[in-house]
Structure 1
Amino acid sequence: MTFELLSCFCAVAKTLSFNRAAADLSVSVSVVSGNVKRLEQELAVPLFHRTTRHVALTHEGAALLPYARDAIAARKAMKDAAVRLKTGSAGPLLIADWPVLQPLVEPVLHRFLRNFPEIEPRSVSMLPREMPDAVREGRIDIGLTVRPLVPRGGGTDSDGAVLSTPLFTVPLDKLLIPRGHRLAGRAAITVRDIADEQLLVPNPEFHPDVHADMVDFFVREGIAQRYQHWDVGSQFELVTLVAHGRGIALICDGLHFDERDPVQLLGVSGPVPELEVVVMSSTRPRPVVWNVTRYLESHAGSALRTPEPSPNAHSR
């Protein structure tokens, strides 16, 4: 049962004329008549009453017509969906992110997905060191992290399968401290003001690059900083550690906290460590992955300058 047979059946049922149906379909009357006959033979029921002056649906034809129309509509919907998949405006999208970056990247993802409601996003939290293999093995489509284990400034990994695209560089120019901390009343501070403090930095086991970058920064500044490792969890975990006196933390401006949290933010002037936020993807991505990667590359930096309140950009 082909699309052509069903199309001829529906066209004749609509016009109740083989001549007008042929004109609508841009085929000959003999083609329409032959296709209707073949469909009747295949279904083993008559579809039309025919006379030299009159065409009418039989009871069987009237009963089967909705199925034919649904089949034609389903074929069109399938072709339209295939076009959207081919152009990257629809389809599944599996995103892995480092939880600390969610407040920075989710607003721009939300803007992208709002324009493409047929993209089906799903998110998982993943350690940065796990993302290259996950992309390479097809377990995720994109990974959002900071300076992964590929060349600084972007590039591909050693086997050419994973591409790292820089999105923006974010300065760690805010200091997260517990309320009542000795620095709480200061109008402005620099990193030298925290030299005697215990600074929370990512555990090198989980993200060696970020840890190394931060340590190198303080070495270059000639500051003998004390460190406390934390296991690179969520923003909530970082707030909890600071509130309980485990240390203080340098963070970026995109992170926000509830006024009820027992912590506060101070601005840090002068030189500060910086993080390069990147998106990782396959060097041979599906169209939807290519689209979201290019959108992030073009718009992620502006999300920091023009934030908007939004729900989670992808479901959990």
Structure 2
Amino acid sequence: MELRQLEHFVAVASEKHFGNAALDLRMSQSGLSASIRALESELGVGLFVRSTRHVALTPAGAALLPEAQALLAGAGAAKAAVNAASGELGGVVRVGTESCPGVVKLANELAVFREHHPRVEMRLRVDGSGPLLTQVANGRVDAAIVVPTEAAPASIELSPLGREPLVVLSHRSRPFVQRGHVAIDNLADETFVDFQEGASSRVLTARAFEERGLAYRPDLEVNDVHTLLDLIDVNLGIAIVPQAIARKRAVDFAATPISHPMPVWEVCVAVRVGANPATRALRDQLRAQAVGVPEAVEELTPVD
């Protein structure tokens, strides 16, 4: 049994899909399937139940998963310790991020990190905060920029980086823009644009509606920021988003404050307890850039 085979096994178990796991591992799907079959042959048991649409762990696979994750984490920690002893960080840091979290300019931070630690290889993926926290917990991601909406697993350390208000993003022609603020109750009949289920902004918006005894049902569902902005730009709907998204393209947009308390968009960096030295170095760099809570919704200006 090789560490490489265990890495392949954990990838398929995490993604629940051979194709997605192969992309993540940067290898062919046929090569990944062959590796899993060889591991199953060596162990003498099936590790996955396969169908055309679904991949699930067998009882044997479920038993192997935590052991495989522990072995891989140990191997990574050993390599990182050797690199640290040589006086220079190395290895791989797999970074995840919520789409457009704001607070931290991740691309700039990764560039600075690469400049200071050229031997560290970086990988990046974009996902919702819930899936990213799961991936940090199971070892598929080392550090993630997230906006938690539930308690994180005990195996994860969360470091706050900053907060931003949630605002109503709309075309400037909307009547409530002229009033300078708006109540959730007055938005119940509006057409909403929002991200897919599980996105942190959608979870927090739905929670705010529920607290007011209102149902929240977005009519226009998107999976990227640019489509959301395009729909608002042509006045097809409005959205409740962190101000970071409102800054993206501000020429015809208005960010209107909400006139009663709202859930806070709090951006954190998540790492596993006992993370390797390179991951801790990136976390510490991000924490050094932490910002506070804006006192008010700022006037929008275009961002290049």
TM-score, scaled to structure 1: 0.54
Question: Is 1:238 aligned with 2:238?
Answer: no
Instruction: Identify the match of residue 88 of structure 2 among 55, 79, 84.
Output: 84
Change (3 A) 1:136 1:79: closer
Residues 239 and 141 of structure 1: CA distance in aligned 2, closer, same or farther (over 3 Å): same
Contact 2:243 2:255 in 1 (8 A): no
Per the alignment, residue 140 of structure 1 pairs with: 141
In the TM superposition, what is the alpha-carbon distance from 1:164 to its structure 2 partner?
3.7
- CA deviation map 1:219-259 (0-9, x unaligned): 2234455533634423x222012224442112223331335
For residue 255 of structure 2, the aligned residue among 259, 265, 281 is 265
State the partner residue of 2:186. 193
* 1:83 shift after superposition: 0.7
In structure 1, C-alpha distance between the alignment counterparts of 2:208 and 2:250, rounded to whole Å: 31
Contact preservation (8 Å) 1:197, 1:226: no
Name the amino acid aligned to 1:214.
T
TM alignment of 1:137-216, pairs within 5 A: 137-147=138-148, 151=151, 154=152, 156=154, 160=155, 162-172=156-166, 174-204=167-197, 206-207=198-199, 210-216=201-207
* 8 A Cα contact 1:104 1:303, kept in partner: no
Shift of 1:99: 1.3
RMSD (CA atoms): 3.7
Contact 2:157–2:271 (8 Å) recurs in 1: yes
Shift of residue 179 of structure 1? Answer: 3.9
The one-letter amino acid of 1:96's match is: G
Whole-Å Cα distance in 2 between the matches of residues 303 and 110 of structure 1?
21
CA contact (8 A) 1:197 1:225 kept: no
Local SS of the residue matching 2:289: helix
One-letter amino acid of the structure 2 residue matched with residue 191 of structure 1: I
The answer as to whether partners of 2:104 and 2:161 remain within 8 angstroms in 1 is no
Identity of aligned pairs, percent?
A: 18
SS at match of 2:279: helix
1:175 to 1:130, Cα distance in 2 relative to 1, 3 A: same
Q: Match of 1:281, SS?
A: strand
TM superposition shift of 1:288: 1.9
Shift of 1:177: 0.7
Name stretches of at least 5 consecutive residues in structure 2 with no aligned partner.
1-81, 296-302
Structure 1: give runs of 5+ residues left out of the alignment: 1-77, 306-310, 312-316
TM-superposed deviation, 1:122: 4.0
Matched, 1:105 2:104: yes
Please tell me whether residue 252 in structure 1 is matched to residue 221 in structure 2. no
Q: Is residue 212 of structure 2 the alignment partner of residue 221 of structure 1?
A: yes
SS in 2 for 1:198: coil
Counterpart of 1:117 in 2: which secondary structure? helix
Matches within 5 A, 1:48-59: none
Q: Name the stretch that deviates more: 223-232 or 193-202.
A: 223-232
TM-score when normalising by structure 2: 0.56
